[in-house]
Chain A
Amino acid sequence: SAVISQKPSRDICQRGTSLTIQCQVDSQVTMMFWYRQQPGQSLTLIATANQGSEATYESGFVIDKFPISRPNLTFSTLTVSNMSPEDSSIYLCSVEDGQGARRQYFGPGTRLTVT
């Protein structure tokens, strides 16, 4: 399975600011995903990021709030913009294994606290 890293691992930010989270994969992957896990909750898909095209956002998530970049097949960023305390969550990136088996592997997550 792919090895996925995320930066930063955690951060504490002030409301109104923005944070960019990086996701790096050790192999080329077509499909990358960004999930949010609010405190004590399950995971919710924010968007799908494919290289060479705009990200596809799920209902309830918009590009102005969560802009995503996917410059190549091993890297993606998620920005959380104009943060409020409600954005305090763990943000996880994942990749699809590319073998048609529909397995997704996750990065270690970024724990964001907004004060």
Chain B
Amino acid sequence: EDKVVQSPLSLVVHEGDTVTLNCSYEVTNFRSLLWYKQEKKAPTFLFMLTSSGIEKKSGRLSSILDKKELFSILNITATQTGDSAVYLCAVEAVVGGGADGLTFGKGTHLIIQP
């Protein structure tokens, strides 16, 4: 059974700190890994990673994938209170001729204190 584990489950830091969120996975026929941010509403897409070692960046957020060690990290630098959210990691796996759906981790609940 496909498995995605995120750590830590929750994290409280002060504004301006840098945080690193972890996502490890065990899936058959890996296709891609995705990061989402979920505030008090539905998740919003952040990054999609398919290749090892290539960093994706968007402003203060960045993410990288290691397909050999089966994990990804999401970095947020100079955190702001607006970064407070649940960050979800999901892995897409391939079965046969189509994708097998997304398997999500439980998420990391990040709280940024002013």
Pair from one complex: no
